[in-house]
Amino acid sequence: MVDAVSVRRSAVLGWMLALLVIALFTRLGFWQVARMHEKQAMLDAAHAVVQQRHALPLSAAADVPRSRDYDWSAGSGRFAALPPVLLDNQSHDERAGVRAYRVFLPVDAAPLLVELGWLPLAGDRHMPPVPRPDASMRIAGLLAPPPSAGIATPIVQPQADGTLLTIALDLPLLRKALALPALAPRVLKLDPAIPLGYARDLDVLPNTLPPERHLGYAVQWFGLALAVLVTALVLTFRKPRR
């Protein structure tokens, strides 16, 4: 009698644990599906804007209600005499490097960060120079939210030459480091057709997982949940050996 009670108790505890693990894996699977749809929506929105290229003034970068949206924008101004911002841990063609940004001062609009492109890093991690274009010019490109920081803790590290090195474009930190409280919440991804800057494109998901990778991870999590369920059923209904 005692053995039967112990067996039932073990079975109940085993199923409770199995259901808890199944629920966790299923939740992770649905989270990956949600991330897939979120990133696909971002790609679709950016693609539509790039295809239409209906140019808004650069003042649109400071439009807070649209700080998570995409717009094509163009305008005139000059680059500020401020240090460049280098975003670390950025790969291109399987090479390590940084993405270079500089503050642009539009005519009659708030300053904004302009992405000039990707630069490689040497083995000693000596930061590449990013000369400032000193003439007034007209620029155009895709207004986009700053790249996601992920789980990284934002930090801004001033270099010996004044360059600001960071692992995430945290706008509040950069406003403080650059002494620009009015820095716009969106950055401008410079049109690759403009003969300025370095290797670049209009990809809104650089150095991050594309939608299909999230779908792959979702399938893996759902598969693990199914495997746990099958294992629990087999252990429950198998015939005990004599």
Question: For residue range 2-14, what is the model confidence (pLDDT) as tens digits?
Answer: 566 666 777 778 8
Q: Is residue 27 part of a domain?
A: yes
Question: How is residue 90 written in tokens?
Answer: 């950025």
Condensed to tens digits (0 to 9), the pLDDT of residues 182-217 reads: 999 999 999 999 998 898 888 877 767 788 889 999
Per-residue model confidence (pLDDT) at position 53: 86
Domain containing 99 equals: 56-190
What mean pLDDT is reported for the chain? 87
The answer on 108 and 28 residing in a single domain is no
Entry pTM: 0.79
Label residue 81 by pLDDT band (50, 70, 90): very high
The model's confidence at residue 242, banded by pLDDT at 50, 70 and 90, is low
Examine the domain organization and report whether 60 and 180 are in the same domain. Answer: yes
Q: Is residue 227 part of a domain?
A: yes
- pLDDT at site 180: 92
In total, how many domains does the chain have?
2
The verdict on residue 138 lying in a domain is yes
The verdict on residue 79 lying in a domain is yes
| Residues 27/30/34/37 CA torsion (nearest 10 deg) | 170
Name which of 6, 5, 15, 7 is nearest 240 in CA terms: 7
164 domain-assigned: yes
Is 50 a domain residue? no
Same domain flag for 128 and 73: yes
Q: Are residues 67 and 170 in the same domain?
A: yes
Same domain, 125 and 167: yes
> Are 158 and 102 in a shared domain?
yes
Judged by average pLDDT, the poorest of 26-30, 39-43, 54-58, 173-177 is 39-43
Tell me, yes or no, whether 77 and 148 share the same domain: yes
Looking at the structure, tell me whether residues 33 and 131 fall in a common domain. no
Q: Do 124 and 228 belong together in one domain? A: no
154 and 229 in a single domain? The answer is no
Task: Quote the CA–CA distance of 154 and 165 in Å, as a whole number.
Answer: 11
Handedness of CA 132, 138, 144, 145 (dihedral sign): positive
Per-residue confidence band for 50, with pLDDT thresholds at 50, 70 and 90: confident
- Find, among 184, 188, 205, 200, the residue nearest to 45 by Cα: 205
CA nearest neighbour of 187 among 234, 148, 132:
148
- 165 and 76 housed in the same domain: yes
CB neighbour list of residue 162: distance below 8 Å, 6 or more residues apart: 83
Q: Average pLDDT in the 44-60 region?
A: 87
Residue 94 lies inside a defined structural domain of this protein: yes
3-state secondary structure 49-60: HHHHCCCEEHHH
> Could you tell me if 145 and 173 lie in one domain?
yes
Q: Does residue 202 lie within any of the structural domains?
A: no
Q: What is the pLDDT of residue 225?
A: 92
